Amino acid sequence: MTALRDTARAKLNLTLEVLGRRADGLHELRSLVAFAELGDWVAFKPGSELLLAIEGPFAGALEGDNLVLAAAKAVKAAAPTIELGQFRLAKMLPVAAGLGGGSADAAATLRLLARANPGALAPAVLAELAAKLGSDVTVCLESRPALMSGRGERVAAVRGMPGCGVVLVNPRLPLATVAVYGALKASPLSESRHGATEIPAFGGCFEQLIAYAQARANDLEPTASRLVPAIGEAIGALKAVEGARLVRQAGSGPTCFALFASADEAESAAATVAAANPSWWVAASTILPSG
């Protein structure tokens, strides 16, 4: 069998509201999530032994247990008869960047094993495994626009997400999620902030998306910027380029993004930011529309 391949797309929290700290110590969130065209990629070829080879510009930044192997082992535990084999991970996204890279890699692994073993892994089983592997793996499993809530385990599809240009900037400084939430000192979750959340629908309209996102924020951004001041510098650089309509931190990590009406505008802006900041990782891409 030839190797199968899947893209682990970058996850962007276009909004990230922290509603409060729950009794279990976790944080209740509400976040509009989109996915970019770019990402890592994972390849799989069945074999007798579970192996993982890592390559790509950010391969050297990975340490310790990898979520690709964790996902493969979780699948084998849930379905002992399936065949594992050799995985290749091309790490194209910065590590500890707030782009959900590890979670997307795990989700791609689940999808690959389902494709390689038709009928052996029901969608409900994949969803259960995703939730156990990490808070963001659930939304990355589908890699479609969604409103994410709870600690990330509740995912509702968002219709009418428009495609648009995006520029991603990372000052090449890691920032762990646990450090951000530890410094956040969020208030305890109140009963008034529980309950159903209205799912936005944008009708393919870029201006509606911008209006929705501008009315909300990434509540982690002030805390993260204090921990890594270069985040504020990246945001300032993106706000200064022509055509940037929404600029903010992408998640909990140091990557920041700007949305543009077109891919051409994003390409031009990325070239401008990269020329002025040669030590940063800068990439232009597109936001995938609702399918």
Q: Which domains does the chain have, with CATH numbers?
A: 4-152 (3.30.230.10), 157-287 (3.30.70.890)
pLDDT at 187 (0 to 100): 82
CB-based burial of residue 232 (10 Å sphere; 0-12 exposed, 13-18 middle, 19+ buried)? middle
Give mean pLDDT, residues 84-109: 94
Predicted local distance difference test score (pLDDT) of residue 194: 54
Catalytic residue among 6, 40, 105, 136: 136
Alpha carbon distances (Å) from 49 to 84, 85, 113, 120 = 7, 5, 14, 19
pLDDT classification of 176: cutoffs 50, 70, 90: confident
Length of the chain: 291
Is 6 catalytic? The answer is: no
- How many C-beta atoms surround the C-beta of residue 211 within 10 A? 12
pLDDT at 197: 73
* Phi/psi of residue 158, nearest 5 degrees: -110, 125
Q: Please give the average per-residue pLDDT across 245-259, as a whole number.
A: 95
DSSP secondary structure letter of residue 62: -
185 is catalytic: no
Q: Would the pLDDT of 193 be above 90?
A: no
Q: What is the mean pLDDT of residues 143-172?
A: 94
- Decide if 219 contacts 17 (C-beta within 8 A): yes
- In this predicted structure, the answer to whether residue 139 has a pLDDT above a threshold of 90 is yes
pLDDT at 6 > cutoff 90: yes
171 and 234 Cβ atoms separated by less than 8 Å:
yes
CB 245 within 8 A of CB 261: yes
Confidence of residue 178 (pLDDT cuts 50, 70, 90): confident
pLDDT in tens, 37-61: 999 999 999 988 899 999 999 998 8
Q: Which residues contact 1 (CB under 8 A, 6 or more apart)?
A: 45, 46, 116
pTM: 0.92
The one catalytic residue in 6, 11, 105, 219 is 11
- Rounded to the nearest integer, the mean pLDDT of the chain is 92
As a whole number, mean pLDDT of residues 117-128 equals 93
Query: To which residue do tokens 């990629």 refer?
Result: 41
In this predicted structure, what is the pLDDT of residue 153?
A: 82
